[in-house]
Amino acid sequence: MSAEGISIYGSTAGIARRTRAFAAPVACVVAALAITAILLLALGADPLFAYRAMVVGGIGSEQAISATLAKTVPICLIGLGVLLTFRCGLWNLGGEGQFYSGAIGAALTGILVSAPATILISLEVLAGAAAGAVTAYVPAVLKSRFHANEILVTLMLNYVPLYLALYLIQGPFSQGLAAKTVDIHPAGELPWLVVGGLRIHAGVLFVGAAVVATHILVSDTAFGFKIRAIGSNAHAAAAAGINVARCQFRAFIVAGALSGLAGAIQVTAIHHNLVEGISSGFGFTAIVAALLGRLHPLGVLLASFGFAALLVGGDSMQRTAKIESSTVFVIEGLILLFLLAGRIIGREGAHIH
Amino acid sequence: MPQYFYESAFYVALLAASVRIAAPLILASVGEVFAERGGVLNVGLEGTMLVGTWAAFMGMYYTGSGLLGVLAGMAGGTVLAAGLGYVCISRGANQIISGIVVNIFAVGFTSLTYRHLFQSSIPTVESFAPIPIPLLGDLPVVGRVLFRHTILVYVAFLSVPVASFLIYRTQIGLCLRAAGELPAAVDTAGVNVLVVRYAGILACGALAGLAGADLSIGQLDQFNDNLTAGRGFIALAIVLLGRWDPYKVAFGSLLFGAADALQLRLQVLDFAVPKELLSIIPYILAIAAMALFVRKLRLPAALARPYERE
């Protein structure tokens, strides 16, 4: 559509375009909420009651915002990794598995190693990031050496750390009846801080650092320049002498380390053990958060906060209004489908060849 | 070695289980062949199957009819695939992202509705009884392995030659393949590319829904959260490994069926390796196979590329 090209209407068209750019996503959210409301009505639940419980539980109090910030951490860290890989044309759908690996690495370190707090926490975080990186190494090396399709390898690889975690939970480190491992040493627990009325854990600091670091990495380094070049045209980048395979390989490893770090933080700050279902779909929510944040670090942070609020609100709704928290995945899915249908996101071409 | 490794009954039961477990993989991957041949990569196959398991269970639970359950499963898969088709085909959205979103929606929708309707109870339906084929079913070994299954297993195996015929020997199949290779040529021939691609994705939805029906009411008698447990993703890998050919895809499904049957049997028999680690085998196998056999792969040229007229 090129109807906006007429100069005398230029400014009005500009305003209209900007209004539309703002109004369209809002319309998608409203439509998704409306359809979910109809579904809830059909199930005999009161949607207004549900939504109120969700908003109050997600952002309605200092306690709620604290919980939402805590859940922003894993989504945003994994999302930043997704950002790096997507920016250089890699379909890394393995955040979920890399997260689980990180959780396993940190939990095993925290259980088996006994050391002073500073050392133990550093070891756990490093072990988590390393485990995530190792998990990303598999699709990375299969992609660069064997040209194996990373979409399918990462999707499939998600199940390996998942079952490994289940094994540890049921088997050697079982806590007994509960579906979780024994706790890590108390010295290995990540500290919590009280800032204003908010109670946040130290992992939030990692997120702040990771957002800034990712921004600098993408915008101001040679590596970031190469990533962007590959993302906009891999053939041109290769012709210009950029080693595409090597850059993609490195991006994959950094993404894995970020997801692994997220898993480590979730263990050391929140659960203090490895618990079944430690990721409530963080890996996939992070992918949509990265896209909704337009593959920009600050955008990813904001989108992650939004999805975290939705998840926390959903859990709270399940407790107070007795409506299943899986409602949030319906809402999330519908919002994204409408955004895709409305051509607001997802116009990136697919480099799957 | 445990004693059962030396008994023939173990292997007969194993092969029969392989065939049974392969059936939903065959249905889903043959469905995906239709979608991908037409140029649409359906990463939402996992979610489409999941909705199929859910719809089939609901259909059978509320009507008491197995046939209506199966039809509901197919309808469920088709509706979800239509949604994905609209977003990817009509609106040209990125197919991988759309697929992920479909998976997220499917998990949420099936879990919410099921749990809200049944709370903590686990309702069951009567799962399908095996139908031995006259004479063939009485054959030693072969009869047990191939000809004493439920109707859906036979349907799965029949879908392979039917799909192969449709894809390679009919005008529709030609259009479908062309829509995945050179959509502009289809357009030039006066055939609507979008309609052809919709046909592919809807067939995929119906077959994935049927695969789901086989899981929930064909083999089990109930629905669980996330019942498909990654089978849709395995089917995606099988399609790649089988190079978009129904027969090769069916062969791949049988291999994965065998791997899965083996690990399940070992779980039941309290084999030395813990069951959670045995569960990893099919995924490792799929990854290894992709690393070894997917080197010189030629994808349908227009796969995952939205069609827009010049």
Per-residue pLDDT band at A15 (split at 50, 70, 90) = confident
- pLDDT of B310 reads 67
Asked if residue A342 has pLDDT above 60, the reply is yes
Residue B290 sits at the chain A interface (C-beta within 8 Å): yes
Residue A155 sits at the chain B interface (C-beta within 8 Å): yes
CB A274 within 8 A of CB A181: yes
Residue B63 sits at the chain A interface (C-beta within 8 Å): no
Residue B79 sits at the chain A interface (C-beta within 8 Å): no
- pLDDT of B28 reads 98
Mean pLDDT of chain A: 90
- Mean pLDDT (whole number) for A83-100: 94
Asked if residue B280 has pLDDT above 70, the reply is yes
- pLDDT of B296 reads 65
Asked if residue A12 has pLDDT above 80, the reply is no
Half-sphere exposure in the Cβ direction for A80 (13 Å, CA): 29
Per residue in A20-77, pLDDT tens? 777 888 899 999 999 999 999 999 899 999 999 999 999 999 999 999 999 999 999 9
In A, residues 51-110, which contact B (CB 8 Å cutoff)?
Answer: 91, 93
Contacts of A329 in chain B (CB under 8 A): 104-105, 107-109, 111-112
The full length of chain B comes to 310
Measured at the CA of B282, the angle between CA A277 and CA B123, to 5 degrees, comes to 55
Nearest-angstrom CA–CA distance, A155 and A139: 10
Contacts of B109 in chain A (CB under 8 A): 39, 326, 329-330, 333
- pLDDT of A7 reads 41
Per-residue pLDDT band at A6 (split at 50, 70, 90) = very low
- pLDDT of A302 reads 95
CATH of span B14-122+130-293: 1.10.3470
Contacts of A307 in chain B (CB under 8 A): none
Determine the straight-line distance between the first and last CA of chain A, rounded to whole angstroms. Answer: 29
Nearest-angstrom CA–CA distance, B109 and B291: 34
Nearest-angstrom CA–CA distance, B261 and B153: 15
DSSP A15-41: HHHHHHHHHHHHHHHHHHHHHHHHHHH
In the block, residue with structure tokens 């062309």: B178
Give whole-number Cα distances, A242 to A220, A226, A247, B274, in Å. 17, 7, 8, 46
Torsion of CA A60, A62, A67, A73, to 10 degrees: 110
Contacts of B105 in chain A (CB under 8 A): 329-330, 332-334, 337
Tell me the pTM.
0.92
Residue A337 sits at the chain B interface (C-beta within 8 Å): yes
**Phi, psi at residue A23, to the nearest 5°?**
-70, -35
Which domains can be identified in chain A, with CATH numbers? 62-321 (1.10.3470.10)
In A, residues 226-285, which contact B (CB 8 Å cutoff)?
Answer: 281, 284-285
- Chain B: closest CA distance from residue A344 (Å): 9
Contacts of A153 in chain B (CB under 8 A): 287, 290-291
Listed in sequence order, the DSSP H helices in chain B are 8-37, 45-63, 66-85, 95-118, 142-146, 151-169, 171-181, 183-188, 193-213, 231-241, 246-268, 275-278, 281-293
Nearest-angstrom CA–CA distance, A271 and A102: 14
- pLDDT of A8 reads 42
Contacts of B100 in chain A (CB under 8 A): 93, 284, 287-288
Per residue in B194-240, pLDDT tens? 999 999 999 999 999 999 999 999 999 999 888 998 999 999 999 99
Asked if the Cβ–Cβ distance from B83 to A337 is below 8 Å, we say yes
In this prediction, the answer to ipTM > 0.85 reads yes
Contacts of B48 in chain A (CB under 8 A): none
CB A78 within 8 A of CB A237: no
The answer to which of A10-19, A137-146, A154-163, A311-320 has the lowest mean pLDDT is A10-19
Asked if residue B56 has pLDDT above 80, the reply is yes
DSSP A275: B
The answer to which of A162-166, A175-179, B53-57 has the lowest mean pLDDT is A175-179
DSSP A170-191: HTTTB-SSSSBBPPPPGGGSPP
Asked if residue B172 has pLDDT above 70, the reply is yes
Nearest-angstrom CA–CA distance, B97 and B103: 10
Asked if residue A352 has pLDDT above 80, the reply is no
DSSP A224-263: HHHHHHHHH-HHHHHHTT--HHHHHHHHHHHHHHHHHHHH
Asked if residue A9 has pLDDT above 70, the reply is no
Measured at the CA of B207, the angle between CA B219 and CA A94, to 5 degrees, comes to 85
Per residue in B86-129, pLDDT tens? 999 999 999 999 999 999 999 999 999 999 899 888 899 988 98
For CA atoms A196, A198, A199, A202, the dihedral sign is negative
Q: Tell me the two tokens of residue A264.
A: 């480590």
CB B178 within 8 A of CB B199: no
Per-residue pLDDT band at A80 (split at 50, 70, 90) = very high
Asked if the Cβ–Cβ distance from A152 to B290 is below 8 Å, we say yes
Non-local (6+) Cβ contacts of A58 within 8 A are: A64, A68, A309, A310, A312, A313, A314, A316
Using CA coordinates, name the residue in chain A closest to B292: A146
Asked if the Cβ–Cβ distance from A288 to B100 is below 8 Å, we say yes
CB-nearest to B304 from A93, A342, A350 is A350
Asked if residue B306 has pLDDT above 90, the reply is no
- pLDDT of A5 reads 39
Mean pLDDT of chain B: 92
Per-residue pLDDT band at B294 (split at 50, 70, 90) = confident
Residue A303 sits at the chain B interface (C-beta within 8 Å): no
